Amino acid sequence: MPTKKSSSPDVIASLRSVVPGIFDTAQRSGTGYRKHAVALYKLQLQCHDSDTEGLTGEDAFNKEFIRNLNKILGIKKREPSAEKVAKLVATFVQVSYEKDIQALAKNVKTRHDSAGVDVDDVFSEQQAGKEEEAEVDTPSSRFVELLIKYLLQGFQAKEKHTRLRCCQIVAMSVTSLGEIDEDLYFDLIKKLVERIRDKEASIRVHAAIALSKLQSGEDSDGGEVSDALLGLMQNDPSAEVRRAVLLNIAKTPMTIPFVLERARDVDPTNRKCLFLKVMPPIDYHLLSIEDRERLLAAGVNDRDPNVKRACVRMIGESWLTFASQNLLELTSSLDVVDSPVANKAMQSLFAAYPEIPENLEFDQELWETLTPEMSFIIRSTLEYFSERKDAEHIDKHLPEVMKLAQLLEGFGARLETEQSDEMRPDLEFIIHQLLLVARMSDFPDELGRREMLTLMRKMIMVPEIPENNIEAVADIIRKLSINEQDFIRIMVEVVSDVREMAPDVDEDSAENVRLEALLVSIKSLIIIKYILQRCFDVLSEGSSMYGLLTECVVPAVQSSESVLQEYGIECLALCCLLDKGLAVDNIMLFVQAVKQGSGELHAKGLAALLDIAFMYGIGDLAPSLGTSEEFVELLYAELENPSEKIQATAGEGLAKLLYAHRIPEPGVVLAELLVLYYHPSTADNDALRQCLAYFFPAFSYMSHENQALMQQIAVDSICRLVGVLKQQSSDTQPGATQGQVAQQIVTWSDPRVFEAIAAMNSGAGRRISARMGTYSQLAVDALKRMFTESPATRKVLVQMLNKLALDENTPHTLLQQMFVLTRTLSQQEVFSDMISRNALARFEMQLLKHLEVECADDVNLESWLEEPEMAAVFEFISSLDEDGDASAADSNEGEEEEDHDETEGAGSVTSGAESDSLDQHDNDALVAGLSVTSAIPVATKTQTRSPLKRARDQRLEELTREIDELLDTDTDNSSDDDPSGYVSAEG
């Protein structure tokens, strides 16, 4: 230890100026933290050395340090000065720890030198210091314990900024704590575990970081800290908290499976961090093949391009490095034979690193000794060049047609003679890859074309040929054919040859014969399916395909074997897509398959029905279906099917029909799909929700007519969804809130978004003034629904109003209608909660601004009564008033006369003399807020005519007098001033 001496009063007295000066200097600069920390360390030693009787100097330093630290503990998050002081404290703790280790190591070395022991033969100086650290009490160690205990007190502070700063400093300093008291260590863990449940996400972040650094070797295999961190990473609602745990948790065999789950995190930044920072240091050999497949599937199929690029970068820079830059070794670590993601991962890798496929070489020996992995690489490389139309590299790597045919024939012969069940899948995979390679050839020489055609016809006759190979063979034959008719002729001959392969009848194996005949029929239907999928010409009754239809397809549909029915329905649907008359004649067959079929037959029947409806339209099929409404009702019923696959198929089909304008009553269908999209029952149906998530914005922003349709059903759909989401049970996975749903629907209805997308695509200017009318009508519809809907729905609707963002393009008449409805809602006190009342008040202020009126008292409602466009709103409010009067009359029938007398005595109802014109009191009430009687009857409320109704009666009286004068009726009409006359005029 340094032994520099100073006078105790000078050092202690200077603390009040030196320590604040260091803190102040650290706040002004973003660098030099270590220099300031060293200065503090020296000052700490001076205080300790200056005191010879107890720890008075050390206590003075500690108190002054804590005093200055207190000044930043209550400062809000992200304040630069507070952040710099926190870094200074953490650096000081780190410097103190390092200096103590060095001093202890130097003392050990001195003792060993004096004893004649070679330190290098025993342990290093650094290690010596660490081993003796636990036995030596230093000013720095005492200060660190004091600091931690003090900060732990702040963990329980009521002020969130204090809790945040305390957790932040502990998280930054925890790696430099060294050896601390065992009780303090467990107390620290206990308090940090409590803080990871704090309601503030920023506090949970720092607590999680600190806990991650306290994981010991024993605990990382499954202890309190690891369990707490894993639970936080899986369940915390904050993406930032999950990311903090993901980046800092120890990567062990126990935690890695939970880390891999973050590949499906809802936050794209977390997914990107997994592929970019967490997984690259981990050797992929430590993962099982299943984990590698899931990780790659999540990465290369991610909808966020940044996440996808991060995954490809992980493969190209990390995994390929662990594979010693050997692409074949990397491919061998994947199950390419059965992998659904290996092809896409390889294509993504080639696209990101084009030098990899460009530098590959395939010699003759390699073609002769193909393995599944090598054949996969060859096919992927050629497919990459084929997609980019790189003829030079394709010609370089693609063998001649004759050579390719010989390879296919050779591996086919090996497959026929192979007895091992383990090797057959590999050989089938190699043959499939070679077929895909052959499909990319142009077949330039005639001799090679003939050889390949003969080989394809031979291969398709193999009884056990896989279905994916049949598809590849059909593609090659289509490419070898002169035209479509030639292709059909060749394939019809193939089907005839396959059907002639019927087994010989043997009385001892009748069941085997039946099964073999069934397999032949299935194979024939599969070939017919691939023929029809590659045909585009309209079927004619004289074509050879009609023969297959009557000989193979129709008997299969009528068969009692369910598998034949499924293939038959699929083939018949493909035929109907090529012949409208055939579709009209057989449409009811598909309807029966949907109504009475089950399982795969039901699904294929529904898919066929939707495809045919999309091709020809429901209107053209209506004569055979009965009515269009019956067809749509059938599809609605499928939306409620318990099978998620059927639900997704029906939802996708309805979306396509709606998008193509091939379905009646599109508004009703759109509303049903909207409710289905947000309904809690479809939360687990990813296929349906992903389809609709793409459909709604695409439909809304495709045309003004589509967006107008969305605007028409918006309010009604929101009201329905509020009730649906309110009934959602608390144990289900939380989805979109009611407010989020309303905001999303409003966004799809916003013409500004439509015009912005159109302008971005075409480069034209934005024109939105002509489209604001229907959009602003949303507010009018929402305000009207607030009079009758439940309180929960009203709350969502009133919050939605302020999201509409009205502007100068909003029609003035609609602004007037909104104001009248808003004032009526305020006067009736429809909303009981303060949040809704404030939201309504904000909307009213927005309306006044657009109406260019300073306050509500300046609005001349009497003049608005003359405008024809306002009649509908005034009639709507009057109808609510009349409904309220009628409801109150029914509920207070026995007290009606008494209430009427009391209100007359109070002067609340205008007399006959007053009915010619509104008095000043009534005019003030009308202008102030349209005091309409509540539509909800209240027993203690006096039933009176509202100022609005009195104004309406006044206007009716004036119109009546004008009509009477025009008709030259009785000039002495004393009943004009009688309210009963108004009733006659209304009648």
Q: What is the mean pLDDT of residues 800-813?
A: 81
Q: How far apart are the first and last CA of the chain?
A: 109
Between 205 and 958, name the one with better pLDDT. Answer: 205
The pLDDT of residue 901 is: 41
Q: What is the mean pLDDT of residues 730-739?
A: 65
Q: How confident is the model at residue 985 (pLDDT cuts 50, 70, 90)?
A: very low
Among 572, 533, 580, which Cα is nearest to 555's?
A: 572
Between 969 and 216, name the one with better pLDDT. Answer: 216
Close Cβ partners of 468 (under 8 Å, ≥ 6 residues apart): 432
The pLDDT of residue 69 is: 93
- Inform me whether the pLDDT recorded for 974 exceeds 80: no
Using alpha carbons only, give the angle 307, 313, 318 rounded to the nearest 5 degrees.
130
The pLDDT of residue 546 is: 83
Q: Note whether 301 and 343 are within 8 A (CB).
A: no
- Inform me whether the pLDDT recorded for 473 exceeds 70: yes
The tokens describing 189, both together, are 């863990």
The pLDDT of residue 765 is: 52
The pLDDT of residue 778 is: 84
What confidence tens digit (pLDDT) does each residue in 659-697 have?
A: 999 888 899 999 999 999 998 888 889 999 999 999 999
Q: Which long-range contacts (CB under 8 A, 24 or more apart) does 8-14 make?
A: 8/50, 8/51, 8/56, 8/57, 11/43, 11/46, 11/47, 11/50, 11/57, 12/47, 12/50, 12/56, 12/57, 12/60
Q: Note whether 456 and 476 are within 8 A (CB).
A: yes
Mean pLDDT, rounded, of the chain:
81
Cα-based distances in Å from 759 to 89, 346, 577? 53, 37, 37
What confidence tens digit (pLDDT) does each residue in 519-574 have?
A: 999 999 999 999 999 998 887 765 788 888 889 999 999 998 999 999 999 999 99
- Residue 746 per-residue DSSP state: H
The pLDDT of residue 683 is: 87
DSSP annotation string for 522-544: HHHHHHHHHHHHT--SPP-TTSH
Q: What is the mean pLDDT of residues 628-650?
A: 89
The pLDDT of residue 892 is: 42
Report for 337-346, 418-427, 724-733: range of highest mean pLDDT:
337-346
The pLDDT of residue 138 is: 81
Close Cβ partners of 51 (under 8 Å, ≥ 6 residues apart): 8, 57, 58
What confidence tens digit (pLDDT) does each residue in 807-844 have?
A: 777 888 888 888 888 888 888 888 888 888 888 888 88
Q: What is the mean pLDDT of residues 158-174?
A: 92
CA dist 555 and 683 (Å) reads: 41
Give Rg (Cα) of the chain: 41
Q: How confident is the model at residue 653 (pLDDT cuts 50, 70, 90)?
A: very high
Q: Note whether 752 and 806 are within 8 A (CB).
A: no
- Inform me whether the pLDDT recorded for 910 exceeds 50: no
CA dist 759 and 755 (Å) reads: 6
Report the Cα 365 to chain-centroid distance in Å.
49
Q: Note whether 646 and 683 are within 8 A (CB).
A: no
- Inform me whether the pLDDT recorded for 699 exceeds 70: yes
The pLDDT of residue 713 is: 92
The pLDDT of residue 350 is: 96
Q: Note whether 47 and 140 are within 8 A (CB).
A: no
Q: How confident is the model at residue 8 (pLDDT cuts 50, 70, 90)?
A: low
What confidence tens digit (pLDDT) does each residue in 221-271 have?
A: 557 888 999 999 999 999 999 999 999 999 998 999 999 999 999 999 999
- Inform me whether the pLDDT recorded for 177 exceeds 70: yes
- Inform me whether the pLDDT recorded for 84 exceeds 80: yes
- Inform me whether the pLDDT recorded for 298 exceeds 90: yes
Q: What is the mean pLDDT of residues 373-396?
A: 94
The pLDDT of residue 192 is: 93
Q: What is the mean pLDDT of residues 273-287?
A: 95
- Inform me whether the pLDDT recorded for 108 exceeds 80: no
Report for 363-372, 532-541, 919-928: range of highest mean pLDDT:
363-372
DSSP annotation string for 196-264: TT-S-HHHHHHHHHHHHHT--TTGGGT-HHHHHHHHHHHH-S-HHHHHHHHHHS---TTTHHHHHGGGG
Q: Note whether 799 and 742 are within 8 A (CB).
A: yes
Question: Of the ranges 105-119, 596-610, 676-690, 706-720, which one carries the lowest mean pLDDT score?
Answer: 105-119
Question: Of the ranges 25-29, 422-426, 762-766, 918-922, which one carries the lowest mean pLDDT score?
Answer: 918-922
- Inform me whether the pLDDT recorded for 474 exceeds 50: yes
